[in-house]
Amino acid sequence: MLKSTIVDTRVRLRPSKKLLESLNAQKEHLKELPANVATALEKNGYSVPKSIRILKDSELVFKRPQIDTKLLDKLTADVPDVPQETAEAPEKEQEQQQRPVDGHFLYLNDLHWLNSTLTELRKNNVINVFLYELIESCELILPENEFKPRNPELEARCQRLREEQQNREYQKMTKNVDATLKHVPEDTVAYQLKSINKQIIAVAQFIFSVAAGFTFGFFGVNLMVGPLPFGFRILLGVIVALVIALAEMYFLAKKLHEYDEVLDAPKRKTPNSPKVSGVQNIKPHVD
């Protein structure tokens, strides 16, 4: 699996029933509601009065809250390092309060608005609830990379290459044990010399063919037709040599392709052949 870029980088919060019930209980003191909050309330069966103005994301104006270190120290003063076991509440009530509900997600702008609203309500002695108490039972969803499946053809090719590598390593390990693998043709000096000779012969054949074509264009046409200008004879020789060079390159590439096809033929798997997992002990042919 491959990871792609993060499309949506926003942090999302799925509101819990506790949060929605608190907002529903205080909606008579609210004059404005963000669109995401209003949608979450309506989708979970809570009505939104028409007197409340629905704010769009671009209309949300707020100040980023500052961390009150004194209040934070006061709240965490009696918190032990190791959490203690608390009395278990009734299972049904606890599940209803902490279980996330369906609906729209809330984003950081909505949480900033909620924090500002709770601050104003606390100043007016309407409620005495803090933001962390409402969102502690909510589900926080962080942005993640999307996974893309790999190309099946690429995965099959990688699997085949891994099996071939495992086979080569297995042959090296069992080379001194199995008598049929003691003299692998690829490891002998004669095999390497034959390969080098083939390559040298192919290069020499290419050079001789191009030289013969140039000679024919430079001397042969002059002998058949008659005396020609020196520059025209050079041009004929270059043209004939170029044509022969292109033809030689074509046949050389075709021959190399056929050679690769012959080498890869045993490695290919037929569609009807059964799949074999693990390391396969493929012994090379010994002359």
Q: What is the mean pLDDT of the chain?
A: 76
pLDDT in tens, 30-62: 888 888 888 888 888 888 888 888 888 777 766
Burial 116-152 (b: 16+ CB within 10 A, else e): bbbeebeeeeeeeeebeebbebbeeeeeeeeeeeeee
Q: Report yes or no: 216 and 236 within 8 Å, Cβ to Cβ.
A: no
How do the domains of the chain map onto residue ranges? 2-71+91-141, 152-264
- Enter the pTM of the model: 0.43
pLDDT tens-digit series, residues 232-280? 888 988 999 999 999 888 887 887 777 666 555 545 544 444 444 444 4
Quick check: 123 pLDDT over 80? yes
pLDDT at position 224 over 60? yes
Handedness of CA 78, 79, 82, 85 (dihedral sign): positive
Query: Residue 21's pLDDT is what?
Result: 86
| Residue 271 main-chain phi, psi, to 5 deg | -60, -30
Q: Please give the full DSSP string across 118-171, using - where no structure is assigned.
A: HHHHHHTTS----HHHHHTTSEEE---PPEEPPPHHHHHHHHHHHHHHHHHHHH
What are the tens digits of pLDDT across the range 177-203? 765 555 556 666 777 788 788 888 888
**Interval 96-105 mean pLDDT:** 55
Query: What percent of the chain clears pLDDT 70, i.e. is strictly above it?
Result: 75
Percent with pLDDT over 90 in the chain: 6
pLDDT of residue 275: 45
Is the model's pLDDT at 125 over the cut of 60? yes
Which carries the bigger pLDDT value, residue 249 or residue 100?
249
State residue 63's pLDDT score.
Answer: 65
